[in-house]
Structure 1
Amino acid sequence: MERFELLPMVSTMEPADLLLYYPDGDQENYWRSVRESPLYENERSEIRAEGNRLRGLPIPELTYSLFSIYTRKGSRLEYERVYFERRRILNTSVFLTLLEPEREEHLAALEDILWSICNEYTWCLPAHLGETNITETIDLFSAETGFALSEISCLLGERLPALLQYRIKENVNKRLFVPYLTCGPFHWETATHNWAAVCSGSIGAAALLMLKDSETLTDILLKVQGSMEYYLQGFGADGACLEGLGYWNYGFGYFVYYADLLRKRSLGEIDWFKREQVRSIAMFQQKCFLGGELVANFSDSQAVGSVQLGLSHYIAAAFPEVEAPPLSLRAAYSEDHCSRWAPAFRNLIWKNSTRAPVEWGSASNYLPDAQWLLSRHVSEAGAFGFAAKGGSNDEPHNHNDLGQFILLGEGTVYLSDLGSGEYKAGYFGAERYSHDCNGSQGHSVPIIDGQYQTAGPESYAVVLEAATSPEEDVLVLDLAQAYAYEGLQSLTRSFVWRTGVRPSLTLSDEFHFDEAPAALIERMVSFCPPVVEKGLVILKGPQAHGHGLSIVYDDHLLQPGISVHSFHDHFGVEKTWYAVDFQVRQPSKEARYVFEFQFMNNSK
Structure 2
Amino acid sequence: MLRSVITICFFFFFTLSFAYEKRDLLQKKATVADVKNSLVAKESWITYPSYSNRKGWDAFTGSLKEELIKEGEAYLDYTWKVVKASDYLEYERSGSRVAMENPFGANNTALSRLVFAELAEGKGRFMDQIINGVWQSCDMSSWVLSAHLSAQKSRRALPDYREEVIDLTSGDLGSFLSWTWYFLHDAFDKVNPVIAARLRSTIQQRILDPFMQRSDYWWQAFNYKPGVLVNNWNPWCNSNVLTCFLLLEEDKDKLAAAVHRSMQSVDHFINYVQADGACEEGPSYWGHAAGKLYDYLQLLSNASKGKLSIFNEPMIRNMGEYIGRGYVGNGWVVNFADASAKGGGDAGVIYRYGKAVNSMEMQSFAAYLVKAANGKTEINAGRDFFRSMENIASYNELLAASPALPSVKYSWYPQTQFCYMKNKAGFFFAGKAGFNNESHNHNDVGTFSLYVDTTPVFIDAGVGTYTRQTFSSERYTIWTMQSNYHNLPMINGQPQQFGTQYRASDVSFDAKKNLFTLNMAAAYNKNAAVQKWVRNYTLGSNQLTIEDVFELTEQKAANQLNFMTWAKPQLTKPGIVVLHKEGKSVTMQYDAALFDATVESIPQTDQRLSKVWGSEVYRLVLLAKKQQLKGRYKFIISKNESTNSK
For normalisation by structure 2, the TM-score amounts to 0.84
Contact 1:421 1:568 in 2 (8 A): no
Of the three residues 137, 140, 147, the one matched with 1:120 is: 140
Share of identical aligned residues, percent?
Answer: 24
C-alpha spacing 1:442/1:31, structure 2 compared with 1 (3 Å): farther
Match of 1:375 in 2: 421
Contact 2:346 2:378 in 1 (8 A): no
Per-residue Cα deviation, 1:491-531 (whole angstroms, up to 9, x for no partner):
011101124xxx42111111111233421111001232221
Distance 1:80 1:354 in 2: 34
Contact 2:428 2:451 in 1 (8 A): yes
Q: Report the 3-state secondary structure (helix = DSSP H, G, I; strand = E; otherwise coil) of the residue aligned with 1:597.
A: strand
Per-residue Cα deviation, 1:232-276 (whole angstroms, up to 9, x for no partner):
122111001111112221122222222222222223221132333
1:417 maps to a residue whose letter is D
Match of 2:590 in 1: 553
Q: Does 2:554 match 1:533?
A: no
Shift of 1:3: 12
Of the three residues 595, 602, 623, the one matched with 1:583 is: 623
Of the three residues 384, 397, 402, the one matched with 2:440 is: 397
Distance 1:2 1:493 in 2: 42
Per-residue Cα deviation, 1:371-397 (whole angstroms, up to 9, x for no partner):
1011355x5x7x542100000011111
Match of 2:246 in 1: 208
2:590 maps to a residue whose letter is Y
Of the three residues 390, 395, 418, the one matched with 1:346 is: 390
1:168 maps to a residue whose letter is L
1:579 maps to a residue whose letter is R
Contact 1:400 1:453 in 2 (8 A): yes
Distance 1:233 1:567 in 2: 38
CA RMSD, Structure 1 to Structure 2 (Å): 2.8
Distance 1:48 1:101 in 2: 10
Aligned pairs for 1:56-95 within 5 A: 56-95=77-116
Distance 1:255 1:55 in 2: 35
C-alpha spacing 1:165/1:339, structure 2 compared with 1 (3 Å): closer
Distance 2:232 2:252 in 1: 28
After superposing the two structures, state which structure 1 stretch, 9-18 or 486-495, moved more. Answer: 9-18
Distance 2:474 2:47 in 1: 45
Q: Does 2:483 match 1:444?
A: no
Match of 1:171 in 2: 202
Per-residue Cα deviation, 1:306-359 (whole angstroms, up to 9, x for no partner):
3222211212112233422211466854997x7543333322223424642312
Match of 2:188 in 1: 160
After superposing the two structures, state which structure 1 stretch, 514-523 or 77-86, moved more. Answer: 514-523
Q: Report the 3-state secondary structure (helix = DSSP H, G, I; strand = E; otherwise coil) of the residue aligned with 2:170.
A: helix
C-alpha spacing 1:27/1:443, structure 2 compared with 1 (3 Å): farther
Match of 2:177 in 1: 149
Match of 1:516 in 2: 555
2:391 maps to a residue whose letter is N
Match of 2:219 in 1: 188
C-alpha spacing 1:52/1:444, structure 2 compared with 1 (3 Å): farther
Match of 2:635 in 1: 595
After superposing the two structures, state which structure 1 stretch, 200-209 or 572-581, moved more. Answer: 572-581
Q: Report the 3-state secondary structure (helix = DSSP H, G, I; strand = E; otherwise coil) of the residue aligned with 1:560.
A: strand
Distance 1:271 1:101 in 2: 35
After superposing the two structures, state which structure 1 stretch, 345-354 or 424-433, moved more. Answer: 345-354
Per-residue Cα deviation, 1:531-562 (whole angstroms, up to 9, x for no partner):
111121122202xxx32222111111111101
After superposing the two structures, state which structure 1 stretch, 196-205 or 127-136, moved more. Answer: 127-136
Contact 1:19 1:25 in 2 (8 A): no
Match of 1:20 in 2: 46
Aligned pairs for 1:55-454 within 5 A: 55-102=76-123, 104-129=124-149, 130-131=155-156, 132=160, 135-161=163-189, 162-190=193-221, 192-321=230-359, 322-324=361-363, 325=365, 326=368, 327-328=370-371, 333=378, 339-351=383-395, 352-353=397-398, 355-363=400-408, 364-377=410-423, 384-454=427-497
Structure 1: runs of 5+ lacking an equivalent: none
Contact 1:289 1:376 in 2 (8 A): no
Distance 1:34 1:592 in 2: 64
1:346 maps to a residue whose letter is E
Shift of 1:30: 5.5
- How many matched pairs? 586
Contact 2:519 2:534 in 1 (8 A): yes
Contact 1:374 1:388 in 2 (8 A): yes
Per-residue Cα deviation, 1:134-181 (whole angstroms, up to 9, x for no partner):
632111111111111112222345233343322221111000111112
Match of 2:540 in 1: 498
Shift of 1:26: 10
Distance 1:307 1:516 in 2: 46
Distance 1:554 1:540 in 2: 21
Distance 1:491 1:369 in 2: 21
Contact 1:181 1:220 in 2 (8 A): yes
Contact 1:510 1:593 in 2 (8 A): yes
Q: Report the 3-state secondary structure (helix = DSSP H, G, I; strand = E; otherwise coil) of the residue aligned with 2:555.
A: coil
Contact 1:365 1:468 in 2 (8 A): no
Structure 2: runs of 5+ lacking an equivalent: 1-26, 150-154, 222-228
Distance 1:560 1:229 in 2: 50
Match of 1:488 in 2: 530
2:188 maps to a residue whose letter is L
Distance 2:133 2:44 in 1: 23
After superposing the two structures, state which structure 1 stretch, 165-174 or 307-316, moved more. Answer: 307-316
Higher relative contact order (CA 8 A, sep 6+): 2
Contact 2:432 2:446 in 1 (8 A): yes
Q: Does 2:517 match 1:476?
A: yes
Shift of 1:453: 0.2
Q: Report the 3-state secondary structure (helix = DSSP H, G, I; strand = E; otherwise coil) of the residue aligned with 1:250.
A: coil
Q: Report the 3-state secondary structure (helix = DSSP H, G, I; strand = E; otherwise coil) of the residue aligned with 1:506.
A: strand
Of the three residues 556, 559, 563, the one matched with 2:600 is: 563
Contact 2:174 2:207 in 1 (8 A): yes
For normalisation by structure 1, the TM-score amounts to 0.90
